Structure 1
């Protein structure tokens, strides 16, 4: 999900380059078609799976349609997410809560409900859920977002325990500051950019392809004995004292 920009698109491209038939999700049909065209032009295989993931009924229908078309699914990547503009306690912030939870958390929960049992029946599979460094630290400015991302990592652990006996692995990946649209905007402020780079031992921001590589690894046979893990890909931000 969320496969037409940033990390999601990078995951789709890496998977396709490895030979997978990728089902590209976004609520934007044009963006889905453009992403699929780019993958196919590069020699890969991709199909659109247009859906607003905040709509539970539409999401379930999409999951069933993709399964019917594919015959089986070996990997599931739940990546769609939004941040919201208000802090917890700000006037009117409650209006954002339902949407942020629906997109960031509940869409992943619903797809796990629909897809993982089918993977189990087919002999196994793997799912990777995009969490965030924000779910591991206190965040005054994006509190609702960070709540959902902490819950996504817990969802991965819970699903790993439930479906592990059926050979279905579930992991999460937690990116730090990555060169995607909204995070690039943060770095346009010189003071904010300097502060974030001081907090990152590698002294740079990450690239979507680096998160894609981590996510695809978690879903691959190379990670066959890894489940319930939250892989932090942040250039060392979480471990540093900022010096």
Structure 2
């Protein structure tokens, strides 16, 4: 059972996207011990199930269903925060993997959505606020292409998909793999770059922004990705920790990064991957 929130804590908000997923729900339960939760997920049924469970467990939580690349959802989140309290924590755990969607949907969820989220919430940030954006080790291990990276630095541009398609197709043709896999790697690298690029402006508000790159995590998304090909299993086999990561591993790291104990950490990426990047750097991925 969650501890009862103090009167002061009730006014502090934790905004979590992708909350119905394994990592999002684990993070919600940790942050919900001291903060009121505003949760969102594209899976409306899953979000409602989570909200019901959190209510039974004594947490204070409310939700908004929808996709982050829809401007109306980000605006609704901002309005809810303005009405409810002070933003203390933001976690973007929403995203799609290659086994779940086509490359355009991956870009919408992993690149466009996060930028819309930050643009909507940044006006409400104050001293002590912190954000963790979930990236991926794929952002470290995938191929390099400065043109794609530059395009994804501005994912709201109207001609984004037309510009990306030939570049992703060329990579798939020369390096192998699917366009979806390459789109995923670049979209997660874009999140790492996004946190670096926004850290200065966040610092002027007394706020921090950090990306967190999980390895292969034993969530429904992670298991689906592992079942769809050999990349995830190859990473597990190469990982010095010799096991799958757990949602709790990511939640604990996020909780630390959002806490005052991490007040000197911003504009960087934390890999929570059991050593996978260290083991696989320079190898084909």
Q: How far off is 1:166 after superposition? A: 1.6
Aligned to 2:134: 130
Correspondence 1:119 to 2:158: no
Match of 1:175 in 2: 214
Write the deviation string for residues 203-237 of structure 1: whole angstroms up to 9, x where unpaired.
00100111011112111111111101200000011
Structure 1 residue 138: Cα displacement: 2.1
Query: Using the alignment, how far apart are the partners of 1:50 and 1:84 within structure 2?
Result: 22
Aligned residue for 1:9?
25
Partner of 1:109: 115
Verify: 1:155 aligned to 2:194, yes or no: yes
Does residue 84 of structure 1 match 2:123? Answer: no
Match of 1:92 in 2: none
Structure 1: stretches of 5+ with no match in the other structure:
87-94
CA distance in 2 between partners of 1:241 and 1:228 (Å):
24
For normalisation by structure 1, the TM-score amounts to: 0.86
Q: 1:42-61 alignment to 2 at 5 Å? A: 42-56=57-71, 58-61=72-75
**Match 1:72 to one of 73, 77, 86:** 86
**What is the 5 A alignment of 1:187-198?**
187-188=226-227, 195-198=234-237
Number of residue-to-residue matches in the alignment: 230
Q: CA deviation at 1:33?
A: 1.8
Q: 1: distance between equivalents of 2:207 and 2:119?
A: 13
> Alpha-carbon deviation of 1:3?
0.5
Q: TM-score, normalised by structure 2?
A: 0.74
- Root-mean-square deviation (CA, aligned residues, Å) is 2.4
What secondary structure is seen at the aligned counterpart in 1 of 2:74? helix
Q: 1:38 aligns with which of 42, 45, 53?
A: 53
Which of 247, 251, 258 matches 1:208? 247
Which residue of 2 is the match for residue 225 of structure 1? 264
Moved more, 211-220 or 96-105: 96-105
TM-aligned CA deviation for residue 189 of structure 1: 8.1
Asked whether the 8 Å contact 1:171–1:229 carries over to 2, the reply is yes
Counterpart residue number, 2:204 = 165
Alpha carbons of structure 1 residues 241 and 128: separation in structure 2 relative to 1, 3 Å = closer
- Contact in 2 for aligned 1:131/1:173 (Cα 8 Å): yes
CA distance in 1, matches of 2:91, 2:230: 34
The 2-side partners of 1:151 and 1:164 are apart by: 20
Q: Quick check: 1:170–1:228 contact (8 Å CA) kept in 2?
A: yes
- Deviation of 1:19 after TM superposition, in Å, equals 1.9
Q: Equivalents in 2 of 1:85, 1:3: separation in Å?
A: 19
| Cross-structure match for 1:146 | 185
Q: Which whole-Å deviations, capped at 9, do the CAs of 1:147-201 have from their partners, x for residues lacking one? A: 1000001101111122212201000000000001132135458976763332101
